Chains A and B, each alone.
Chain A
């Protein structure tokens, strides 16, 4: 097998390996060796690099979906009252 063919096979294998681990990579949750391996793959794979970038942008937006807490106190008190009333019905 030529060196070029071997590199091509390795690159495809790395790509398949990397794709399923991208979320863990972005979250910094891979073991150090795998984190380095995937970082090396990111440098040479435009498809994975683009997907990583897209996911990072998306993950930066998602926390903004947390519901605003202006009504939080009202929800807390209303729920406490409702739960108290139901529990007292049982007794």
Chain B
């Protein structure tokens, strides 16, 4: 039976823990889009992102009886999804990763002005996505969760199963690496 639209998430989680498949399906509907969007950044393509998203929900269903509610449901779910994406990434040939060492790009241009044309904006978006994708997964995930998806530091650290200080340290290194990639991109004429 499909739950009422306004049914609170805590109620749905409790019913799913009791084996209510309809309640779990409603949780899937509510979270699938955002989980897919996060996972898509770590996998090869949309088909794989769909597979990983599905697998994450199946893992969540198998273990939901053990979900104790110490974290929010979505942070628990995101953790399952990112771990599944990492497992998939580990099976693929390694891709070049950008350095996490903070080496400034010599004579990097000032790119503080927003690109004006739609084409330039699309190019910038591609440059940012490529830079994040080129980070090791455990670093790229910090930028995706905190800066793209807008989770708080506490929420994002919980997804990554890190203390907040460790998460901030990792996030800072990842942000610096993305910034260096943008320096390189703009030095090459923004192409």
Residues of A participating in the B interface, judged by any CB pair closer than 8 Å: 19-20, 22-24, 27, 29, 51, 53-55, 57-59, 61-67, 69, 72-73, 75-80, 82-84, 86-87
Contacts and interface: CB of A to CB of B under 8 A. Distances in A.
Contacts, number: 98
B43 interface: no
Interface of B: 21, 24-25, 28-30, 32-33, 36-37, 40, 50, 53-54, 57-58, 61, 102, 111-112, 114, 124-125, 128-129, 132, 143, 147-150, 153, 168-169, 171-172, 175-176, 178-179, 182
A67 B34 CA distance: 8
A22 B40 contact: no
Contacts of B179: 51, 54-55, 58
Nearest to B132: A65
A23 B57 contact: no
B147 A76 contact: no
Given A76-B28, A76-B29, 20 more contacts: A20-B169, A29-B153, A51-B179, A55-B179, A61-B114, A61-B124, A62-B143, A62-B148, A64-B125, A66-B37, A67-B40, A73-B33, A75-B32, A75-B36, A78-B50, A79-B57, A80-B28, A80-B32, A83-B28, A86-B54
A58 B21 contact: no
A65 B58 CA distance: 27
B135 to A, nearest CB: 13
Given A61-B124, A76-B28, A55 B175 contact: yes
Contacts of A87: 21, 24, 58, 61
A57 B175 CA distance: 12
Contact of A72 (B33, B111, B148, B168): B33
A62 B36 contact: no
Contacts of A54: 111-112, 179, 182
22 contacts: A23-B172, A54-B179, A55-B175, A55-B176, A55-B179, A57-B111, A58-B128, A58-B179, A61-B128, A62-B147, A63-B148, A63-B150, A64-B125, A65-B129, A66-B148, A66-B149, A67-B37, A67-B40, A76-B29, A76-B32, A78-B50, A83-B24
A23 B171 contact: yes
A51 B172 CA distance: 12
